[in-house]
Amino acid sequence: MKRPYGIIILKMKILYIFPHPDDESYGPAGAMYKQVKEGHEVHLLTLTKGGATKQRDHLGLTVEEMGEVRTAEMLEMAKVLKLTNLTVWDWPDSGLQDVDPRNLERAIAEFIRKLQPEIVVSYPVHGISGFHDHLVCHAVVKRVFLQLQDEESNDYLKRLAFYTIPDHSLPTFSEEGFIFMRHSVKARIDCIVELSDMELVKNKEALFCYKTYLQIIESSGILNKLGHHVYFEFYNEQFDPPLNSLTDKIG
């Protein structure tokens, strides 16, 4: 959807926080590229290097070696999307449920204080896949966001958003076949970002950066499922009809 002529878009810092490499490319990569084109700073923080993936067994790599491979793939993805900055941490992949959440919260809080983004984006409460790393990520990011909003020195955090997919009551992809993913009902969706053909192409190019996952990407059918709309929930805000940008109507 084109913006009316003459509307000024305020430039903002948007921070995406996900647990694994490729979470952004299976999700909001097209919207991230669109936001960069609009002049916003788009930062990505990934909590783990993703080395625990089963793909390491096919490649004969250790968790540490696989983590380095996936980090290198992420760096290529960041170039495709022209991200302002990419930060990759090394918390235990597939093990976030076992870490002391207070330690993770302190690390994220310090990162956000230094960056001072207006908008923070992560997974919704259901984590889309239901994977425990996704659920932990949602919980710690939300807690940190609210904690920082209460600080007297905070005058920057304006919005907490969650990348999601709408409820269409249909099974979604997996390597082995079809599984049921978690979705957000229509009433919870507050923002729908419309992608151009080029922005959708950039999303697919970002996915192709993960060369160790090409077989899974192709067999899953995800390339045919990526569409021209990217969906977000907002925390403690409600918009009906949904906004068409994460940066619209920031209080």
85-88 β-sheet, strand order: 85-88, 41-46, 13-18, 119-122, 159-164, 229-234, 191-194
Tens-place pLDDT, residues 201-224: 999 999 999 999 998 888 877 888
- Number of Cβ atoms within 10 Å of the Cβ of 40: 23
On the question of pLDDT at 137 being above 60, the answer is yes
Higher per-residue pLDDT: 6 or 83: 83
| Domain 13-234 superfamily per CATH | LmbE-like (3.40.50.10320)
pLDDT score at 217: 86
Asked if 232 contacts 162 with a C-beta cutoff of 8 angstroms, the reply is yes
- Number of Cβ atoms within 10 Å of the Cβ of 162: 26
Higher per-residue pLDDT: 92 or 6: 92
pLDDT score at 5: 45
Cis omega (within 30 of 0) on the bond before 241? Answer: yes
Distance CA 210, CA 52 (A): 15
Distance CA 205, CA 214 (A): 11
Tens-place pLDDT, residues 150-202: 998 899 999 999 999 987 654 444 444 444 567 899 999 999 999 999 999 99
Q: In sequence order, which residues have a C-beta less than 8 Å from that of residue 121 and are 6 or more positions away?
A: 14, 15, 16, 17, 28, 160, 161, 162, 163, 232, 246
pLDDT score at 9: 57
pLDDT score at 6: 45
Mean pLDDT of the chain: 91
CA atoms within 13 A on the CB side of 121: 25
Q: Please identify which residue in the block is written with the tokens 């204080």.
A: 113
